[in-house]
Amino acid sequence: MLGGISGYNVTETTDENPQRVALIQKVTLAYLRSRLLGDETAWSSACRTLEESASAVGRLEWKES
């Protein structure tokens, strides 16, 4: 399970907030695209969109390696 994503068109989640579930799906996809396909624009775009959103339902945190 990737951040509460049970499967395609599955309505059950571990989080009842549909906006937060959609955010997790988008950020997870952007991360996978950047790591597996080398698409760095996907991750940076997802981060920028979340940072610029006035109504963000979450935030990203990570450790620099």
Domain locations along the chain: 18-48
Please state at what angle helix 18-37 crosses helix 40-52, rounded to 10 degrees: 150
Q: How do residues 6-45 score in pLDDT, each as one tens digit?
A: 666 666 656 778 888 788 888 889 999 999 999 989 999 9
Q: Strand, helix or coil at 9? A: coil
Q: How do residues 34-50 score in pLDDT, each as one tens digit?
A: 999 999 899 999 888 88
| C-beta neighbour count of 52 within 10 angstroms | 8
Which residue has 């395609």 as its token pair? 8
